[in-house]
Amino acid sequence: MRMRAAVLEEFGEPLVVQELELTEPKRGEALVRLEACGVCHTDLYTASGVDPSGYAPTVLGHEGAGVVEAIGPEVGSLTVGDHVVTLFSPQCGECVHCRDERTNLCLAIREQQNKGYLPDGTTRLRRDGEEIRHFMGTSTFAEYTVMPEIALAKVNPEAPLDRACLFACGLSTGLGAAMNTAKVRAGSTCVVFGAGMVGLGAVAGCRLQGAERIICIDLSEERLELARGQGATETMIGGDGVAERIVEGTDGFGADYTFEATGNVQVMRQAVESARMAWGLATMAGVAGKGETLDVVPRLLITGRRVAGSSFGGVKGREGVPMLIDRYLAGEIDVDPFISHRISLDEVNRGFELMEDQDGIRSVIQLN
């Protein structure tokens, strides 16, 4: 079929919206008519050319939601008409990681996905016979996509898809960091560094876990206002000396749980330093630049602080995303404040500009 998509042709150049050929889903794959897609920092990171593992040409986008339009052979868990959220982090249910409750890092299709191919090592995207690669296994800056069944989460059809798409990446990452990775205990004190999509999700996750104090730190007063809306009980402008201020403000001990959601290694260090001695857990949800390292004084660890990493919030996508969306539908997660701009596919580059200007939390592209 013919469809429109935003193609990264050259690193550092604007995406080019154009018609591409999308071939039929093969074994274990589904064709999805996309309704909405969030514009995420990872898309911009790849488009800029800074990501050393990036490739072009490719169709970017990984925060998609839509409706299953067709299925290939041997698809058992999806049918035409199902509402789905796309997963860059799949859940095959069979690999050694999927069978273990300690991780969500499915091993099934990593290798091909990282190279821009579907699991059989080919692409469904073409332009005049030329192969166009898939991005993060999703390629959702497009009217349609073909994806593996194991990378599609079937969600409650009552969830508006322009909200559901936010659960495909940043929001679930933040919520899951608090709920799955840290497993925040009720009554505890939490600190969240960064009030972007991931940090705000972490604030909401701490609230859902019953945290008593949630301190959110950011450089923007506007974003801290949003953090208060998600359940932050205190807010603070970030910078030097923040870790000391947190330790002082928590009876000299530090917080039970800290979360890093900026990707800045200096802030990661602050997250470790403001975790409580004896049991403080510092969870890293932000992605640092290639080659950067986290500087930690080992004494902080000997005295009981722990450091954890969290990818996609530790959420096993096919099970976890539908559960989070049900909690949204139950009124427990306020998603609307995250959507700052609604744009068309043709305006995708404006979505990047808004992000670079730090204007709002998320631009959502309305497709179809």
Residues marked as catalytic: 40-42, 62-63, 92, 95, 98, 106, 110, 169, 362
CB 224, CB 216: distance < 8 Å: yes
Interior angle at CA 339, CA 337 and CA 341, nearest 5:
130
Ranges within 68-97 binding Zn ion (CB under 5 A): 92, 95
Of residues 233 and 349, the one with the C-beta less far from Zn ion: 349
Binding status of residue 198 toward Zn ion by CB under 5 A: no
What's the rounded Cα separation, in Å, for the pair 128 and 312? 35
Q: Cβ 343 to Zn ion, closest distance in Å?
A: 17
What's the rounded Cα separation, in Å, for the pair 239 and 217? 9
Q: What are the tokens at 245?
A: 């201020």
Ranges within 246-305 binding Zn ion (CB under 5 A): none
Q: What are the tokens at 14?
A: 């604007």
What's the rounded Cα separation, in Å, for the pair 364 and 25? 26
CB 172, CB 312: distance < 8 Å: yes
Of residues 40 and 164, the one with the C-beta less far from Zn ion: 40
Q: Cβ 170 to Zn ion, closest distance in Å?
A: 5
Instruction: Give which of 175, 154, 188 is closest to 332, Cα–Cα.
Output: 175
Q: Cβ 160 to Zn ion, closest distance in Å?
A: 20
Of residues 124 and 318, the one with the C-beta less far from Zn ion: 318
Q: Cβ 51 to Zn ion, closest distance in Å?
A: 13
CB 312, CB 283: distance < 8 Å: no
Of residues 45 and 253, the one with the C-beta less far from Zn ion: 45
Q: What are the tokens at 19?
A: 């018609």
Strand partners, 364: 38, 342
SS3 259: strand
- From the list 27-35, 108-116, 178-186, 222-230, the region that binds Zn ion by CB under 5 A is 108-116
Helix (H) or strand (E) segment spanning residue 232: none
Q: Cβ 299 to Zn ion, closest distance in Å?
A: 35
Q: Which are the contacts of 323, defined by CB distance < 8 A and separation ≥ 6?
A: none
Of residues 42 and 250, the one with the C-beta less far from Zn ion: 42
Of residues 40 and 125, the one with the C-beta less far from Zn ion: 40
Q: How far is CA 257 from the centre of its chain?
A: 20
Of residues 169 and 206, the one with the C-beta less far from Zn ion: 169
Sign of CA dihedral 248, 263, 213, 218: positive
Q: What are the tokens at 49?
A: 């050319």
Q: Cβ 367 to Zn ion, closest distance in Å?
A: 17
Omega before 57 cis (within 30°)? yes
Alpha helices in the chain (DSSP H): 41-48, 110-115, 161-164, 170-176, 197-208, 221-230, 242-248, 265-273, 298-302, 317-329, 348-356
Q: Return the residue of 5, 8, 15, 106 that touches Zn ion, per CB under 5 A.
A: 106
Q: Cβ 14 to Zn ion, closest distance in Å?
A: 19
CB 237, CB 217: distance < 8 Å: yes
Of how many residues is the chain composed?
368
Of residues 7 and 106, the one with the C-beta less far from Zn ion: 106
Q: Return the residue of 108, 200, 284, 354 that touches Zn ion, per CB under 5 A.
A: 108
Q: Return the residue of 98, 161, 171, 197 that touches Zn ion, per CB under 5 A.
A: 98
Per-residue contact track with Zn ion, 150 to 189, x per CB under 5 A? Answer: -------------------x--------------------
Ranges within 29-48 binding Zn ion (CB under 5 A): 40, 42
Q: Cβ 42 to Zn ion, closest distance in Å?
A: 4
Residues that bind Zn ion (CB under 5 A): 40, 42, 92, 95, 98, 106, 108, 169
